[in-house]
A and B are shown apart, each in its own frame.
Chain A
Amino acid sequence: MNDLERALWRAGDHDDRAAVAARAFVERADREGLIDVAYTTVDAPVGELLVAGTSRGLVRVAFGGIPHEKVLLELAEDVSPRLIEAPARLDSIRRQLDEYFEGRRTRFEVGLDWRLTHGFARRVLKHTARIPYGDVSTYKSMAAAAGSPRGARAAGNALGANPIPIVVPCHRVLHSGGGLGGYGGGLDRKALLLELEGVTGPWARRQASRSGSR
């Protein structure tokens, strides 16, 4: 309406200072034990990853395919609403992921918080966590290891819903016939991770023939 109102609207851009204030707050909140879930993002060849941890350990890794906002809201709902972006709390896993993608790390040394998994799915994922780097297994044998030899399909569902992909290496589980199977983050990412680990298979050719289309 006039200069006065224009001056009022022009509240100024304080985003930089807000970020500094936020950092100080996060440090203090962490010291005082007020953060139940810390999260941050990590740049990776498979796209930006959202990484979240609790006092028990790593609780969630999410690919960019699902909007991070949605993942965060789920975490707020399923774990705790005291969910804060706190990169320093996740320094170790961030560094390990960097090393993994540079081919300098073959196993993750990080505590895992399994609370987003239950029952049979949790058993399948815990067995999957033991498949070594560069090795692969099958849905059928993961199902058998979890106590249900005929539950290959259910094992596939459990792996597809893996809340901690990459670190719990569900990409190392393939079809008995050697096919790629499925992947929660999309088959291109699965192929990329296997290739990074030096695993070759028929899907590699498939990838090559489609190179350029991501």
Chain B
Amino acid sequence: MLLDDHRGAVYRFLVAAVGVNDADDCFQETFVAALRAYPRLRDASNLRSWLLTIAHRKAIDAHRARNRRAIPVESVPERAAGPAADGEPGLSEGVWEAVRQLPSKQRASILHRYVNDLPYADIGRIVGCSEAAARQNVRAGLASLRGAWEQ
């Protein structure tokens, strides 16, 4: 019900969606955008979905910006500047790298399903598709992840 109650969900989503390096900026952008728009929000019961919808858009912006930046310096590893001591990078971090390579709707659906445990109906609303399509996106995403995972 309160904006502050959803900090964790938004941050977890963003770390998974764009990585720790861009998550802070996206987090700030998301909540500032939310505060700017907040008086217009009618249905406070959907606050979390609404915040995650904004976060989703900010994540897409960050991906685009990164792709633009990445063109001239292809050889520089994306996360080279990341803090190495930041938790246990091993297994989960590898998966998230693979998730970030998925097409955007699959990526977002997987993130909302597994990071924030959202029902498919909410995922559909956030990503902009039907509940069935959200389910299909998760399935397809899992299938291609499994391909990468098992190699």
Contact = CB atoms under 8 A, between A and B. Distances in A.
Interface of A: 3-5, 7-15, 17-18, 20-22, 24-25, 28-29, 32, 34-35, 69, 72-73, 76, 80-85
Contacts of A20: 24
Contacts of B28: 21, 24-25, 28
Contact of A83 (B2, B27, B32, B114): B2
B32 A32 contact: yes
Interface residues of B, number: 37
A82 B47 CA distance: 13
Contacts of A17: 11, 15, 20, 23-24, 86
Contacts of A3: 149
A21 B92 contact: no
B20 A18 contact: no
Contacts, number: 98
Contacts of A35: 35
A11 B115 contact: yes
B3 interface: yes
Interface centre among A9, A11, A17, A83 (most CB of B within 10 A): A11
Contact of B114 (A11, A25, A73): A11
Contact of A29 (B7, B35, B110, B145): B35
A6 to B, nearest CB: 9
Nearest to B23: A21
Given A8-B114, A17-B15, A32-B32, 19 more contacts: A4-B149, A8-B110, A9-B114, A10-B92, A11-B12, A11-B92, A12-B87, A14-B15, A17-B23, A18-B12, A22-B31, A25-B27, A25-B31, A76-B1, A76-B2, A81-B39, A83-B2, A84-B4, A85-B4
Contact of B7 (A8, A13, A18): A18
Which applies to chain B's interface (DSSP): helix, strand, loop or mixed? helix
Contacts of A22: 7, 11, 27, 31
A82 B37 CA distance: 10
A15 B92 contact: no
Given A8-B114, A14-B11, A34 B27 contact: no
Interface in B22-63: 23-24, 27-28, 31-32, 35-36, 38-39, 41, 44
A160 to B, nearest CB: 26
Given A24-B24, A25-B28, A82-B38, A14 B12 contact: yes
Contacts of A28: 28, 32
Given A4-B146, A73-B1, A81-B39, A12 B32 contact: no
A69 B28 CA distance: 23
Nearest to A85: B4
